[in-house]
A and B are shown apart, each in its own frame.
Chain A
Amino acid sequence: MISYEKKDTPIHKLSGFTKLVFFLIWCLTSALTFDTRILLLMILLGGIIYVVSGTKWKQVSGVFIAIMFFMVINLTCIFFFAPYQGCEIYGTRHEIAHLFGPYTLTKEQLFYEFNVFIKYFTVIPAVFIFLVTTDPSELASSLNGVGVPYMIAYSLEIALRYIPDVQDEFHRIRNAQEARGIEMSSKGKMLSRIKNTAVIIFPLLFSTMERIDVVSNAMELRGFGKKKKRSWYSRRKLMASDYAVIALVIVFFVVTMIITFHDGNRFYNPFI
């Protein structure tokens, strides 16, 4: 699992809010465009930011392999469900080779699937960088700083703060149940696996409900939610670099949208 690591790079210095805005606009751009040139540019930019952020390959390699595995299955599936999706999109048909049955490999299909592939990949560096360089407490305080109600900012902080704790609890319970001889691996039958999963979920859920009681009582005792405002230990003001990044990403979004849609649809078509 990916986690935050303290470092001294230009990206770590940016406010959490800036990185969140960047991340969301980046995702939106990637979702809307299907223009190969823009997608490739985004991958290039993502790669540069990845290098600048000083993220170690070791921090993210496990997750990266998981994505590759998922992508291979997904792309194969697309081909078997709709071998001519690419032809429909680009309006032409250049056959490369006949495979078997109704399946013929076409250039359009390859190009379309390549686009789907890099489209997924544009989001990945943004996710990695956001998670590795953003301090959860600082994110919550900077969100509150730009006007998000602190109740909401705080629940986001609680979520990020408690993931490792709940994860530990989960491992403890699973180890305990495995010690009792309950099979958790993929060997068991489906119904028995549901049953065995329930054996973990029950204690985990009940201890979580208890934790919610304890934490909310503690917060109530300290007067949380009494006043309209609160102060933050890790408050940091938005600096010139934050405004610059936000402005840049908005300009980037507008320009890419103009390039993508100026010819009426969002695909870049090299076949005409």
Chain B
Amino acid sequence: MDKKFGIKEVVAMGIGTALFVVLTNVQIPVFFVPNTSLQPRMAVLAFFAAVFGPIVGGVVGLLGHALGDALFYGGVWWSWVFPEGVVGIAIGFFAAKYAVKEGGFNTKSCVLFNIIQVVANAVAWIVVAPVLDILVYSEPANKVFAQGAVAFVCNIVIIGILGSILLTVYSKVAGKSSDLKAED
């Protein structure tokens, strides 16, 4: 097993998915558009992607969304499952740059994190989700793009606020424990 994908990542994938699924039920409705609301679980997804990288982020998004849909709503809306994976993978790709675990999540990495999350969400919810909705369900274009746009705004707001705070605080806590130095 190479170092990058070890036991910790396997466990993080599993428990992260479980946490994401549990938070499916925690939603803050904003507009009266079906299936869109402020979802704190998105912040958790961004957190896991930023800490553990793209594979964990992608799996937590895909599997978490599919399982969450299935367990709470009894159906799986595949057209909205895949974009979730896109967000997780995209944010996770730059995990090394944020250096969350090393305690290096400062203003600069916070700005980078937010730029990436906005781009990732734009691709996922304004492009991938509506296109899949049209391909799979032949839903009217204006409806799905309106839904996608609302989801996009909701997600960047919740990740921007809650995600950034979670990462900043965790980075401070996690970075502190590495006071030991190797002796010469």
Contact = CB atoms under 8 A, between A and B. Distances in A.
Interface residues of A, number: 69
Interface of A: 1-2, 27, 31-32, 34, 60, 63-64, 66-67, 70, 73-74, 77-78, 81-82, 85, 89, 112, 116, 119-120, 123-124, 127-128, 130-131, 151, 154-163, 165-167, 170, 186, 190, 193-194, 197-198, 200-202, 204-206, 208-209, 211-213, 215-216, 219-220, 224-225, 267
Nearest to B18: A162
Contacts of B136: 31-32
B72 A209 contact: no
A120 B139 CA distance: 12
B23 to A, nearest CB: 8
Contacts of B165: 198
16 contacts: A1-B71, A27-B76, A74-B34, A120-B75, A151-B10, A159-B14, A160-B67, A163-B22, A166-B18, A197-B162, A201-B162, A208-B19, A212-B8, A216-B8, A220-B7, A225-B1
Contact of A190 (B30, B137, B142): B30
A158 B70 contact: no
B19 A67 contact: no
A78 B143 contact: yes
Interface stretch (B36-44, B83-91, B106-114, B121-129): B36-44
Interface of B: 1, 5-8, 10-19, 21-23, 26, 28-30, 33-35, 38, 40, 43-44, 47, 59, 63-64, 67, 70-76, 78, 136-143, 146, 158, 161-162, 165-166, 169-170, 173
Contacts of A194: 28, 38, 158, 161-162
B85 to A, nearest CB: 15
Contact of B143 (A77, A165, A200, A204): A77
A198 B6 CA distance: 30
A154 B15 contact: no
A198 B64 CA distance: 20
Nearest to A197: B40
Q: 8 closest Cβ contacts across the A-B interface?
A: A158-B14, A82-B140, A81-B143, A159-B17, A162-B18, A63-B74, A155-B13, A216-B11
A159 B71 contact: no
Contacts of B170: 205-206, 209
Given A163-B22, A216-B8, A220-B7, A67 B74 contact: yes
B8 to A, nearest CB: 5
B177 to A, nearest CB: 11
Among B15, B59, B70, B139, residue most surrounded by chain A Cβ atoms (within 10 Å) = B15
A213 B146 CA distance: 41
A162 B11 CA distance: 10
Contact of B21 (A74, A163, A197, A267): A163
B87 to A, nearest CB: 18
Nearest to B52: A212
A67 B78 contact: no
